[in-house]
Amino acid sequence: MDVIALLLILFLVLWLQMHILCKFAFSRLEYRCEFSVSEAHEGDTIMLVETVYNGKLLPVPWLRVDIHTSRWLEFAGTCSVIAQENRHVTSSFVLRSYQKITRKWKLKCLKRGVFRTENVTLVSGDLLNFCNVSTAVPVNVTLTVFPQIVDLEELFVPASLQQSDRVVNRWIIDDPFLVAGVRDYAAGDPFNRIHWPATAKSGSLMVRKNEFTSQQNLTVILNMQSNYYELFDTINKPMAELGIKVAATLFDRALREGTPVRFMTNGCVEPDAKQPIVTGEAADRDHITSLLRILAGLRMKTVKDFRVLLEDVWQDISNSEVVIITAYLTVEISRMADRIASEGNNVSIVLLDTVYEKGSGPKHADMYVLSDSMRKEAGKLA
């Protein structure tokens, strides 16, 4: 009889703790998570900060937080489950009465994009996990990851020198491709301009010396088609990602040089977009940041054939350094580049791949191609 009584008491205690802990698990329980920054660059390491507060006398014996985010945000020091484009991360807490816990995760931004976490799932239960309860908590956090800045002088080499490669003795815009030679390093020179072979030969730091073109603004035109026969979805995504990085690097240089810049692309940021992106022109930081946000959110699809885009916009471009970024080159694209150059613009074509249509070389535009030594490295960057 005593044994039966003890068993009944034990059963009652277990049932009470299960009932109470499960019923009040999320009562006066606060959860919040946020990124340490709202914007970062590809390759940056940032923090995800979790804050949990148990605002009641009853403790929470265990709490599991299921975070669903992008696979391109790598959590350091934890195991995560990756399924297609998603990453599932679990965070666990034990909360005493009126206890607040703050936990920080290191995140590495592996790829550009706009990453949103709208909800997390909280799971809790009784001491022995006989039952558990769950609830979805809205967090609504967004992280915008800008594309990586690359070294254009190392990646690309001029395919030919045309008569439009003219040099003047006044400063307007630092040409991102034309290198006149090397000079001694001066305080304030960026390290990515150090010319290491010349440095090793001379025994002192040497930097690439860039000449200056006579154009007053910059127009970047990005082709999101990876080959001529694409209709909507971009097939060669790594190639398109490399083009996005090139555009981001040009925007970054324009900001540092104070050059007004505008952007055009046949890509889109909204899934149901019908029109290509054509921005205004400005040189301030807010404008450049807005262009980087566009690049971060670009989808792997096109809304208009690139040749048609060039035909639509060429008459609106004047007195500009025009950089056309494309994965392939056709006779029509070269013809449109020459037409833009004939209007007094200095046009450069950055060719991301070796896809040429026969007879497609431009007559009045410069062309830059991926160097043989950097082709493998560019694949890694993409």
Q: What percent of the chain has pLDDT over 70?
A: 81
Domain limits at 240? 152-176+215-381
Angle formed by the axes of helices 237-257 and 285-297, to 10°?
180
The DSSP secondary structure of 103-136, one letter per residue, reads: EEEEEEE-S-EEEEEEEEEEEEE-TT-S-EEEEE
Question: 299 phi and psi, to 5 degrees?
Answer: -90, 160
The model's pLDDT over 27-50, given as tens digits with 9 standing for 90+, comes to 999 999 999 999 999 999 999 999
355 plus 250 within the same structural domain? yes
| 368: in domain | yes
142 plus 284 within the same structural domain? no
142 plus 166 within the same structural domain? no
Q: Which residue has the tokens 């769950």?
A: 134
Q: Cα(195)–Cα(181) distance, rounded to whole angstroms?
A: 10
The pLDDT, as a whole number, for residue 298 is 95
The model's pLDDT over 145-168, given as tens digits with 9 standing for 90+, comes to 999 999 888 888 887 533 344 333
172 plus 119 within the same structural domain? no
Query: Which of 186, 188, 266 is CA-nearest to residue 220?
Result: 266
252 plus 340 within the same structural domain? yes
CB 31 within 8 A of CB 122: yes
In this structure, what DSSP letter does residue 187 have? T
* pTM (2 d.p.): 0.78
Query: Which of 49, 33, 45 is CA-nearest to residue 73?
Result: 45
Q: What is the mean pLDDT of residues 47-73?
A: 92
End-to-end CA distance of the chain: 75
107-111, 293-297, 317-321 — which is least confidently predicted? 317-321
The pLDDT, as a whole number, for residue 276 is 93
Query: Which of 53, 146, 66, 143 is CA-nearest to residue 107?
Result: 143
The model's pLDDT over 208-256, given as tens digits with 9 standing for 90+, comes to 665 555 456 899 999 999 888 877 888 889 999 999 999 999 999 999 8
According to DSSP, the β-strands at 218-222 and 261-265 are parallel
